[in-house]
Amino acid sequence: MATTQLVVTEGQVSPDQRRVVNDLSIQVATVNGSGSQSSNLVLLRAIFQMGVPVSGKNLFPSNIAGLPTWFTIRASKYGYVGRRKEIDFLVAMNPETAEEDVASLEPGAACVYDEKLDLRRLRRDVAFYAVPFDKLVAPICPDPRLRKLVRNMIYVGVLAKLLGIEMEEIERALRRQFKRKVKAVDLNFKAVAAGYEFADQNLEKADRFYIERMNATAGKVLIEGNTAAALGCLFAGVTVVTWYPITPSSSLCETLIEYLKRYRTDPQTGQATFAVIQAEDEMAALGMAIGAGWAGARAMTSTSGPGISLMSEFVGLGYYAEIPAVIFDIQRVGPSTGLPTRTAQGDVLSNAFLSHGDTQHPLLFPSSPEECYTMAMEAFDLAEELQTPVLVMSDLDLGMNTWMSDRFAYPSRPLRRGKVLSAEELERRGGFLRYRDVDGDGIGYRTLPGTNHPAAGYFTRGSGHDERAIYSERPDVYVQNVDRLARKFETARKKVPAPVVEEAEGAEIGIIAYGTTHWAVVECLDQLRQEYHLPASYCRLRAYPFADAVWDFVARHQRLYVVEQNRDGQLCSLLKLDRRLADAAKLRSVRHYNGLPVDARSITDAIVAQEGLN
C-alpha cells in the first residue's frame, strides 16, 4: 500500500503555524456528473451539525457530465457566509484543472489530491496529502458503475480526519442526504470510513486548519434560495404556476410543484387547488400568468435573463393594462446566453423599465433565503394591490447555493388581494369605471371575468384607453392615464419593503448594496473598521422604487459607495435617475462582474482605493 511522503517540512508550509479554527474555505475540484455534490453536501452538513456557521457555493459548468466543477465550503466562526477568494484547503480530483487549482492557493494552504496526479512537485509552501482513491474504493465497491460515485466519499473521510470533523455527524449527514436509501448510506459510509482510516494511518497533519464544535447553528436550517422562494409562493396561496425551464431558475418551479402536489391536493378527491403549466416558451409562460392574473388568480412565473428578454412584451402589457403577475428573475451572467451557470445582478436596470414606451416596475431584492420566502409573499400582495407585474430579483448564488438561515416564520398577515369588486359591491356602487382613480392612489378598481353583474364587464387592452377601458387615441386621455400610472408608482414607493439601515458612529461614508452582495458587504464593513479604522454606514436596499429612507441615508453621508455585481453600475445609475441630482453627485460605484459571487476583500480594496487610503 502506498504511503504518502510528506515533502513539506516545518517552515516551508507557512510562516504562521498557529492553529486556525473554524475559519477556512474548502474547495473541492471535480468533474461534473461524478456525484461529488453528495459528498460536498455531506461535508457541509456535518460542519453545520457541529454548530459551525457554514455556506456552500457550487461553481458548475453549463453541461451534464465531464466538465470541471468546483464546490466551495466556507466555515466561519464569525458567521461570514459570503464567498472568500482565498482557498485554504483544496481537494484536487480533476486532472484537467489540478495544476491551476494548486497554483491559485495561498501559501500555507493544504491540498488533498488523487495520488496519480502527483501534485506535490508543484509547490513547496503547501501541505500536500496524496490519497490513492482508486485503490481505496475498489474493495468497498465491486460494482464499477457505482465506483465513480462512491469514490468521492473517500475525501469526506480524509477531510474528517485531517480537519477534525466528527464521524458521528458525517454519518448523520449521510443519512439525511440519502434519506431512506439504507444501502446507499451503508456503501457511502464505508467509503468515508476507508478515507478516514487511510488518513489516520498514513497522513501526518501538516496544515493548521481545524473544525471544532461550537454552538452557532442551533435552530437554523440549510436551504437554497429557490426552495425558499417556492415555499413563499406556497404560503402566498399561489394558484397558477406557468414556467419554462431555464438555469438557474428551474429548481424554483420544480420545488414548488413538489410542495403543491404534497400540500395542495385534496387527499380524498385528488383535486388540486393549483394549476401548473409548462409553457412552450417564456412569452407564453408570462402570457398565461397575465391571463390568470386578469381572471383573478395568484399567478407566477420564474425565469432568468434570456427569458426576461422574451417576457418584456407581456410585462409592458401588464403595466399598461394593469394586471398583476409575479415574476422571479434568478439572474445569471449576460448578455445573451452569457454564462448560464454563473451569478450576476445584471438585469436590474433593464427590468426597472422593461418593455417599450414609458414603463416602470416594482423590483424586490431578496438577499437571503428568508427574504426569498417573505418577499415571494410580499410580491403577490403588491402585484394584486398595485395591479401590475412585480419582479423578484434573486440570483444564481442565492437561488441555487446552500445557505444557513433562521427558520421561517409563519405569515402573520392575511393575503392582500387588492381592489376587486364583487357583484354585490358593484350593485351597491351602481357600476364602476375600470381606470378611474377613485382613491387618489393611482389604483382603480377591477372586476373579474365571470362576475354575475351586467356592469361587471370591461374590455382589457394594451392599446390606448380611457377610464372606462374604451379605446382612445385622444392626447388628453393618454396623458391623464399615463400620469395616473406614474402616481401609482409613487404609491408603490410607499408600499415596497423599506431599506435596512445601519448607521456607524462617526461614519462619513455609506455603503449601498442589495441582494446577495449583502453578505460580502457585512464582512467588508468589519474589514474597513478593523484594518483601516474606517467606519462606514450601510443601507441595504430591498426594493425599487426607492423609499424616501434611501435618500435620507444618502443625505446623511459625504460619499456613498454603491456596490453591485454588474459591469455598468446599474443600480447606481437607477439611483441617479431616480430623483435628486444634488445627492446623486455623491454616489460612487463599486462593481464586481466576473461571474463569481462577490467577496468582501474585493469591495474593501475598491473602497480603500477610492478613499485614497492605500
Partner 1 sequence: MATTLPPPRKLNRIGLDQAAYKGNKTTLCAGCGHNAISERIIEAFYEMGVEPYRVAKMSGIGCSSKSPAYFLKSSHGFNAVHGRMPSVATGALVANRTLIMIGVSGDGDTASIGIGQFVHLMRRNLPIIYIIEDNGCYGLTKGQFSATADVGSKLKTGVVNELPSIDTCALAIELGATFVARSFSGDKKQLLALLQAAIAHRGTVMLDVISPCVTFNDHDGSTKSYSYVREHEEILEDVSFVPFFEDITVDYDPGTTTDIALHDGSHLLLKKLGVDYDPTSKAEALRVLTESHEKGEVLTGLFYVDTRRPHFIDLLHLVDEPLATLPESRVRPPQSVLDEVMEEHR
Q: Positive or negative, the Cα torsion across 271, 276, 278, 283?
A: positive
Residue 384 CA to residue 353 CA, distance in Å, equals 19
- Least separation in angstroms between CB 239 and partner 1: 4
Q: Give the burial class of 308: count Cβ atoms within 10 A of its Cβ; 0-12 exposed, 13-18 middle, 19 or more buried.
A: buried
With binding defined as CB under 8 A, does residue 253 bind partner 1?
A: no
Q: Which of 36, 242, 516, 589 binds partner 1 (CB under 8 A)?
A: 242
Residue 387 CA to residue 125 CA, distance in Å, equals 61
Segment lying near partner 1 (by CB under 8 A), choices 57-65, 197-205, 245-253, 258-266: 258-266
Pairing of strands 127-131, 110-114: parallel
Segment lying near partner 1 (by CB under 8 A), choices 7-15, 56-64, 268-276, 539-547: 268-276
Binding mask 306-325 for partner 1 (x = CB under 8 A): -------xx--x--------
Residue 589 CA to residue 526 CA, distance in Å, equals 20
What does DSSP assign to residue 248?
Answer: T
- Least separation in angstroms between CB 261 and partner 1: 11
Size of residue set near partner 1 by CB under 8 A? 73
* Residues of this chain, 398-457, that bind partner 1 according to CB under 8 A: 407-408, 410-411, 414-415, 447-457
* Residues of this chain, 69-128, that bind partner 1 according to CB under 8 A: none
- Least separation in angstroms between CB 435 and partner 1: 15
The CA R_g of the chain, rounded to the nearest whole Å, is 27
Are the C-beta atoms of 433 and 467 separated by less than 8 Å? yes
* Residues of this chain, 532-591, that bind partner 1 according to CB under 8 A: none
Region of residue 582 (left: phi > 0; alpha: psi -120 to 50; beta: else):
alpha
**Minimum CB distance to partner 1 smaller for 194 or for 292:** 292
**Minimum CB distance to partner 1 smaller for 314 or for 489:** 314
398: its cell numbers: 442565492
Are the C-beta atoms of 554 and 603 separated by less than 8 Å? no
Segment lying near partner 1 (by CB under 8 A), choices 6-14, 196-204, 230-238, 565-573: 230-238
With binding defined as CB under 8 A, does residue 268 bind partner 1?
A: no
* Residues of this chain, 205-224, that bind partner 1 according to CB under 8 A: 221-223
What is the 3 state secondary structure string of 350-405? HHHCCCCCCCCCCEECCCCHHHHHHHHHHHHHHHHHHCCEEEEEEEHHHHHCEEEE
- Least separation in angstroms between CB 26 and partner 1: 22
CA 278 to chain centre: 23
Q: Give the burial class of 285: count Cβ atoms within 10 A of its Cβ; 0-12 exposed, 13-18 middle, 19 or more buried.
A: buried
- Least separation in angstroms between CB 534 and partner 1: 38
Segment lying near partner 1 (by CB under 8 A), choices 55-63, 203-211, 267-275, 571-579: 267-275
Segment lying near partner 1 (by CB under 8 A), choices 75-83, 112-120, 273-281, 559-567: 273-281
Helix 282-294, helix 305-321: angle, nearest 10: 30
DSSP, collapsed to helix, strand or coil, labels residue 530 as: helix
Q: Which of 50, 236, 333, 528 binds partner 1 (CB under 8 A)?
A: 236
Q: Which of 470, 464, 475 is nearest to 434 (CA)?
A: 470
- Least separation in angstroms between CB 403 and partner 1: 10
What does DSSP assign to residue 161?
Answer: H
**106 phi, psi to nearest 5 deg:** -75, 155
**Minimum CB distance to partner 1 smaller for 287 or for 497:** 287
Q: Which of 4, 97, 188, 227 binds partner 1 (CB under 8 A)?
A: 227
Q: Which of 274, 365, 538, 553 binds partner 1 (CB under 8 A)?
A: 274
Q: Which of 132, 296, 497, 499 binds partner 1 (CB under 8 A)?
A: 296
- Least separation in angstroms between CB 45 and partner 1: 10
Cα–Cα–Cα angle for 512, 515, 516, rounded to 5 degrees: 105
- Least separation in angstroms between CB 498 and partner 1: 24
Are the C-beta atoms of 331 and 347 separated by less than 8 Å? yes
* Residues of this chain, 454-483, that bind partner 1 according to CB under 8 A: 454-463, 470-471
Identity of the amino acid at 58: N
